[in-house]
Chains A and B, each alone.
Chain A
Amino acid sequence: MAFPHRPDAPELPDFSMLKRLARDQLIYLLEQLPGKKDLFIEADLMSPLDRIANVSILKQHEVDKLYKVENKPALSSSEQLCFLVRPRIKNMRYIASLVNADKMAGRTRKYKVIFSPQKFYACEMVLEEEGVYGDVSCDEWAFSLLPLDVDLLSMELPEFFRDYFLEGDQRWINTLAQALHLLSTLYGPFPNCYGIGRCAKMSYELWKRLEEEEDGETKGRRPEIGHIFLLDRDVDFVTALCSQVVYEGLVDDTFRIKCGSVDFGPEVTSSDKSLKVLLNAEDKVFNEIRNEHFSNVFGFLSQKARNLQAQYDRRRGMDIKQMKNFVSQELKGLKQEHRLLSLHIGACESIMKKKTKQDFQELIKTEHALLEGFNIRESTNYIEEHIDRQVSPIESLRLMCLLSITENGLIPKDYRSLKTQYLQSYGPEHLLTFFNLRRAGLLTEQAPGDTLTAVESKVSKLVTDKAAGKITDAFSSLAKRSNFRAISKKLNLIPRVDGEYDLKVPRDMAYVFSGAYVPLSCRIIEQVLERRGWQGLDEVVRLLNCSELAFTDMTKDDKASSESLRLILVVFLGGCTFSEISALRFLGREKGK
């Protein structure tokens, strides 16, 4: 999950407070187990942990050795073992097997399990079933929000999407509500709340209940953030399915940005080692190009290189004193910049190489055709060829899903043949993948004779049927109709452009997709904030199939008040793409003026 918002004139709240809070709590928990101990860390908690507390802090609190939680017997010889894990059942079984192995060997040690961000009863149940509940002590590390950048927070919960949108499991909603509650206690109450989607609504309600239960504290505080917008990922799958073309998005698509940092391989670093690089606003070079369309990036980088060279060149003709000054003051900065510059140039080259190999232009062309809804047959053929050539399993799927969503499902013939081709190319196990995609509404079949009105009446019946939970069934039984085409028309998502779209000086958010498409999610946010609510968007909301689940909550209408009201926090429930972040940053710059 990510929380981008406009980095602009109004000052951003100090999110590093969240880090300090998490660190203090972790230290407290570690000190609960006095003496030397070995720490077992879940693999995907390692990077977030690294951002909160480095190894030396851990050592200060008597952590002796660090291990990764993996399915291997532990070699640790320490008398005290501490496990830092996500609340997952497989971890519990691992811990239980470890404890039981010790018991068999007649060994007694102390075990402590720290769950992050919270513990689940099911986990304790498993420990109990395995007969080790009495041997371990359990604690919670309520570390739910990691500030990745000055304007970006993440919950680092990769399973959120799968659990909620595929399995209909709502356990993370509580975690989310807690996180929102934490934000409102730290940064003042949010005067305006908007949201769309079922998950957004549930989280919102749970959050408000939490606030009620311990009221008093936040009241009367000056809010630091004016608006909060909750958005379910399934409101807009389209944007997430498009190839990214802003620099940061491309880096993510090519190298995977994890927890705000990226591993650049040898082909980028032009040495024989990989390098882990932190990507955020502190990287001056990156900060300037992250939101740029890729076509501008090379030009910018070479300009930058020339400037750098010029600065280096100044030292010719310097006298001794100037030289001393230069070395002591500027050289370090220049060297740093130089290093970063060469890294990003390397990255660009690597991206170019990969993209040309795949015939990126063709791919983009097909995507745009799908978004605009012409030459469907040709696009379908392209996808089929893509599959036949085994270009990339994930890209093939992405294209299929995009086709399905923009077209309200595939026509039955294509649905069958594409699936058959896919299974032949990439293996029969993907039959299950297709079941899941279908359930999540990502890849569906047009029901024969299913006219728009028929579906609509079905949907509205389900939505009005308050006998709770029935809607969850709608997930599986009735693959959600996306109505993308109609929404696109209503919200004007495909800009009509005469002539070239100038990517250097973008006019609207469409630049993040080469001017071909304005991200739906960001457009909704823009519209709602402009109108300060959902008035006039009824038709869109209806088309999104979320009519009951869009809400606005304006507690007080003191528009005139402080600066801070211009700050907006957008919460994507189920993750977001860097393109969307770039688009929102753009929106912030445009409207924030």
Chain B
Amino acid sequence: MQRQRERHSETAQRGWMESSASIARQTWELENNIVSTDGGGGGGREDPDAIYWYDEAAQARAHQEKPWEGDPHYFRRVRVSALALLKMVAHARSGGNIEVMGLMQGKTDGDAIVVMDAFALPVEGTETRVNAQADAYEYMVDYSQTNKQAGRLENVVGWYHSHPGYGCWLSGIDVSTQMLNQQFQEPFLAVVIDPTRTVSAGKVEIGAFRTYPQGYKPPDEPVSEYQTIPLNKIEDFGVHCKQYYALDITYFKSSLDSHLLDLLWNKYWVNTLSSSPLLGNRDYVAGQISDLAEKLEQAENQMAHSRLGTFLMPSQRKKERSRMRE
């Protein structure tokens, strides 16, 4: 009798935990306006896996019509599959402090670019190599061919690279590469991942960008979320930051993926508890503090020079001061 009661309490507890977990998840999804993926393009189809179907005819039609030629701001959203995100983050992290790059495969869906998969390219990226992609063309062609044979029919729809430790934005070289891409390989998307900040912040640092064509004056955009950028890169960031715009990123996963991920949680909750971000991020934090010290020194010097001048601080120093909100 007691054993039955215990077993009942166990199952009741488990049931309560499951229901509370699912209630928590639903509250989350509601609060964050998560919309479950509905059918890609087709009217009213509620099958969450429909997005995995590659509609050749529709894609060919879109390529012919080229609705993105008229409007530089045509693409507004990016939908990244769980698999692509995992692959990109894993590859970026495996590069350590070296920038790595790769390509993304997917399709377009109205004003959204859908990224289904990603693969790494065997080039060591340095910011000074303008045409790093030329070396990788053979690899890309081989890979795309084998993929088509194996049943992945999507085309290359963008490229990604990592900025380990210095944030998600496009540098001057990146901007020129992307402008070239957008001229000849439309539709194309640029994605930047920061694996160091991902690990230190506990959330994925990723940004998706498209450049404006040369000479286009963008309408005034609301200022996006501020991110701290190390002193040695801040000039590069500032010069080019008006030449591209960021797209919203949402994620999707198939029903099987969701099911597997739920079950995975049962295994890796240990890692959640045992991971210690303090220890893992020591180097990065030390680097950030020294960068901060440099910025403060620079600010002080500028103040000393303009002591008799205006009391209004230039906007750069204001940016440095306001980075203390961390």
Say whether A and B bind each other. no
Listed in ascending order, the chain A residues whose CB lies under 8 Å from chain B are none
Listed in ascending order, the chain B residues whose CB lies under 8 Å from chain A are none
